[in-house]
Amino acid sequence: MNSVIEVASLRKTFKSRDGTSRAVLKDLDLAVGAGEFVCILGPSGCGKTTLLNVLAGLDKVYEGRACVSGGRVGYLFQEPRLLPWLTAEANLDFALISCRVPAARWSELKSRYLAMTGLSEYRDYYPHQISGGMAQRLALVRALCVEPGILLMDEPFSGLDEITARRLRSDLLSIWEGTRKTIVFVTHNAYEACFLADRILVMSGGTFRQEMRVPIARPRSYDDPAVFQLSRDVIKAFGDDIGREPVPSAIPATEPSLVDDLDRHAAARMNI
């Protein structure tokens, strides 16, 4: 398998004000193959977002090697990050201009992905006029419009209510099955990871603790008992492992909607 993302001995330290430095990423190794859907699962503050920022090129100060090939990188943030003074369509245009996508292709790209996410009617709406779920879908359209080879996603559905998040996860999977982009998806939700991923990397304290393949056949259904069973196993197998390493930064109180109702108890124990 040819890798489009190769990370070797990646280290990243932050200096705090009193001069002490804290390692956020500790000798990380990662290889992601073309068209693969990888989930990085870990508690808040474990370095997931830092890793994505390095992969996206937002963070250029690090040691080790982080090599991303295989086309443009698309990034879906935890929040939609739409420009509030532009309409939905103008927000897409902003991305298309910035990425220098030939103008001849714009209307086809926009129409395709807007239709795919059910937003075709909302081209002229401003971000504050649409719901949070729609705004996040629009952000997904924006990321897809520029035809990235690799899509990085940073807990993109964690701020949404569970019903909306569920729909978006299914939408994402069908889009992925249609386009086969490489996706690195960061989450703290074990159920979400098991539903989406080909492979799950469990991260804690700046390193990967475990790695597992998801054996569930595609297309998957969100209510598949196999997904449920697997997410339980993941938490059982890795929960203690994660719990042992104290997370350096304060962990914000887990929002109830982030944790799948089924495993709230186990999840709370490991702060996932």
Partner 1 sequence: MLKLLSMVAAVIVWGALSLTLPPEIFPGPIETARTLWGDIAGGEVWTDLVMTMLRVVAGLLLALILGVPVGILMGLSRRAEAVLDVWVMIGLTVPSLCYAIMAFIWFGLNEGAAVIAIAVTAAPSITINIWEGVKNIDTRLVAMARVFEATRPAIVRRVLMPQIFPYVMASARFGLGIIWKITVLVELIGRPNGVGFKLFYWYQLADMRQVLAWTLLFTIIMLLIELVILKPIERRVFAWRPQVAV
Kindly list the residues in this chain that would bind partner 1 in the complex (CB under 8 A): 56-58, 72-75, 77, 79, 81, 83-87, 94-95, 97-100, 126, 128-129, 142, 146
Q: Measured from the CB of residue 119, what is the shortest distance to partner 1 in angstroms? A: 18
Backbone phi and psi for residue 166, each to the nearest 5 degrees, phi listed first: -60, -45
Which segments of 101-185 does DSSP mark as H helices, in order? 103-116, 132-145, 162-179
Residue with Cβ nearer partner 1 (154 or 192) = 154
Give Cα separations from 154 to 63, 98, 103, 157, 224 (angstroms). Answer: 22, 21, 29, 9, 24
Cβ 258 to partner 1 shortest distance, Å? 20
Between 75 and 191, CB nearer to partner 1: 75
83 or 163: CB nearest partner 1: 83
Nearer to partner 1, 36 or 93 (CB): 93
Q: Give the whole-angstrom CA distance, residue 51 versus residue 39.
A: 13
Minimum distance, C-beta of residue 150 to partner 1, in the bound complex (Å): 12
The residue (of 79 and 198) whose beta carbon lies closer to partner 1 is 79
In angstroms, give the least distance from the CB of 233 to partner 1: 35
Q: How far is the CB of 99 from partner 1 (least distance, A)?
A: 5
Question: Rounded to an integer, what distance in angstroms lies between the CA atom of residue 196 and that of residue 62?
Answer: 29
Q: How far is the CB of 30 from partner 1 (least distance, A)?
A: 19
Q: How far apart are CA 42 and CA 69, in angstroms?
A: 25
Q: At what angle do helices 132-145 and 162-179 cross, to 10 degrees?
A: 20
Residue 74, exposed/middle/buried by CB under 10 A (0-12, 13-18, 19+)?
buried
Residue 97 vs 262, nearer CB to partner 1: 97
